[in-house]
Homo-oligomer: A and B are copies of this chain.
Amino acid sequence: MNHRNIEDKRHLRSLKTRIKLLEAAREVFLQEGFQKATISQMINKASIGYGTAYVHFGGKEDLLIVLMEGVMEQFFEIAEISFLPKSKQEAEEIIRKQANDFLKMAEAERDMMQVFEQAIGVSSLVSDKWKAIREKFIQRISTDVAYAQQNGLARSEVNHEIVARGWFFTNEMYLWEIVRDEHHSSVEEIARTIASVYVTGLYL
């Protein structure tokens, strides 16, 4: 067995440990909530050594952040759908679908999102991570708005970044209402209404 093979096997073993620990962390977070969950519970559930675990993660916050990145990756896929509308109507269709998919995803991932919300409230590490995720979304929306302005589809006199932030904020706050199961209207009606006011307000 050559050096390269040993390296590969070590890497694979390390990857498997990491995945086992992340799966255990997910289960413990869902069961206990963020505040009560402990890294010991996760290590025990994953049946790995303490030393090995700490090679991968410094604490439960690190584990949560990796889980958060995994869930948010699915949300980003929605935002990253190609946005090349040729008319106001086409823009409204794309944007309504994005808002709808975004809020539906919140519904589907409700349990983990509830854990994230708790963690954002109490951990500045997690809260900073959430802010970074938010900025990534806003940058993406901002690019879409600028594209529409450059192509004469959207009002060019408004600052595209301010518009993008405002639009993301509306989506984000509805996302948290849905996560907490506090929304009074259907996800479809929320998405249709906010997209309609936004597109009518911005597009020509």
**How long is the Cα–Cα vector from A197 to B204 in the complex, in angstroms?**
12
User: Is there a chain B Cβ closer than 8 Å to A47's Cβ?
Assistant: no
Cβ-based interface call for A169 (8 A): yes
Question: Inside 8 A of A177's CB, which chain B residues have their CB?
Answer: 165
- Report chain B residues within 8 Å CB of A120: 121
Query: A48 to nearest B CB, angstroms?
Result: 32
Q: CA–CA, A49 to B38, complex, Å? A: 41
Copies of this chain, tallied across the complex:
2
CB within 8 A of A169: which of B169, B185, B200? B169
Say yes or no for A201: interface residue by CB 8 A criterion.
yes
The reply to whether the CB of A31 lies closer than 8 angstroms to some CB of chain B is no
Partner of A201 from the list B159, B173, B189, B198 (CB cut-off 8 Å) is B198
Smallest CB–CB gap between A105 and chain B, Å? 18
Kindly state the separation between the CA atoms of A163 and B184 in the bound complex, as whole angstroms: 13
Q: Judging by beta carbons under 8 Å apart, are B170 and A174 in contact? A: no
B-chain residues with CB within 8 Å of residue A158 when the two chains form the complex: 193, 196-197
In the bound complex, residues from chain B placing their C-beta under 8 Å from that of A163 are: 193-194, 197
CB contacts (< 8 Å) of A202 on chain B: these are 197, 200-201
Shortest Cβ-Cβ A-B pairs, 10 listed = A201-B201, A169-B173, A197-B201, A121-B121, A162-B193, A200-B201, A166-B170, A166-B194, A169-B170, A158-B193
